[in-house]
Amino acid sequence: MDRQIGPPVSPDPPLPWAAALMRRFRRHTVLKTIGICVFMGVFFIAYFHLLRNPVRPVTIVHLTALDRLIPFQPRMLAAYVSLWIYIGVAPGMLPTVRELSHYTVWMAGLCLTGLVCFYGWPTAVPPLAQDVSGCAGFSMLRGVDSGGNACPSLHVATAMFTAIWVDYVLCHLRSPIIPRVINGAWFSAITYSTLATKQHVVFDVLAGALLGIIFALLSLRGRHCSGGA
């Protein structure tokens, strides 16, 4: 029988949550960067094609009392465009190619579902009554994204999907509450900005949130916040 020489070797202690998170961000950085850019490029080709070539009459989504209460706030444009940074956070947190592939398939399914909705039921928000010519960056946004492809809001849907996944990873790493609150606040700012910039109305936001929740929960089915790196 082999004899143990010296004291028993204890397993390495788990990394603190912040160190574990940074290690995840450093894994497959090039693959993540290229993958996100390609994914967004393909999505926008399809999105703008449907926006500019609707196959059916475009339906104007009705305003609600809440839409009328929320004033036009061009300063919320920064929060609105921050989505394109935010959607890269969740895949950046994933440590393996298998996890990235799983995430990408479900995000693609969400976006494809939204595009199918836009194809079968083209929608738009009511024309903006305010003059945006003096609002920096806003006239450019309206020139590119004219308020069509409105319901469901894929802006909100992808933000919701991202928020749930980011919270799952932070929970898994046993992070303190503050990063999870920041994640929720960023998601909330993006969602509110869709109403404050008048790019979407309440019905769009609710439909987008529901779409994001459904796909996020299906993609995380069977997973639990067990802790670990």
Cβ neighbors of 148 (< 8 A, separation 6 or more) are 51, 54, 58, 122, 123, 124
pLDDT at 11: 45
pLDDT at 128: 73
Residue 178 pLDDT > 50: yes
Task: Reduce the DSSP state of residue 179 to 3 states and report it.
Answer: helix
The two structure tokens encoding residue 200: 């979407």
pLDDT at 170: 95
Average pLDDT across the chain, whole number: 88
Residue 143 pLDDT > 70: no
Q: What is the pTM of this model?
A: 0.88
pLDDT at 10: 42
The answer to whether the Cα torsion of 84, 89, 92, 95 is positive or negative is negative
Distances 20 to 5, 133, 175 between C-alpha atoms, Å:
32, 46, 10
- Per-residue pLDDT reduced to its tens digit, 54-84: 999 999 999 999 999 999 998 899 999 999 9
pLDDT at 148: 75
Rounded to whole angstroms, the Cα distance separating 24 from 96 reads: 9
Residue 138 pLDDT > 90: no
Rounded to whole angstroms, the Cα distance separating 84 from 89 reads: 10
Exposure class string for 141-177: b at 16+ Cβ within 10 A, else e: bbeebebbbbbbbbbbbbbbbbbbbbbbbbebbebee
Phi, psi of 9 (to 5 degrees): -90, 120
End-to-end CA distance of the chain: 36
Q: How confident is the model at residue 12 (pLDDT cuts 50, 70, 90)?
A: very low
Cβ atoms 183, 77 nearer than 8 A: no
Phi, psi of 123 (to 5 degrees): -135, 160
Per-domain residue ranges of the chain: 29-125+135-219
Residue 90 pLDDT > 60: yes
Residue 2 pLDDT > 60: no
pLDDT at 149: 83
CB count in 10 Å sphere of residue 186: 20
pLDDT at 41: 95
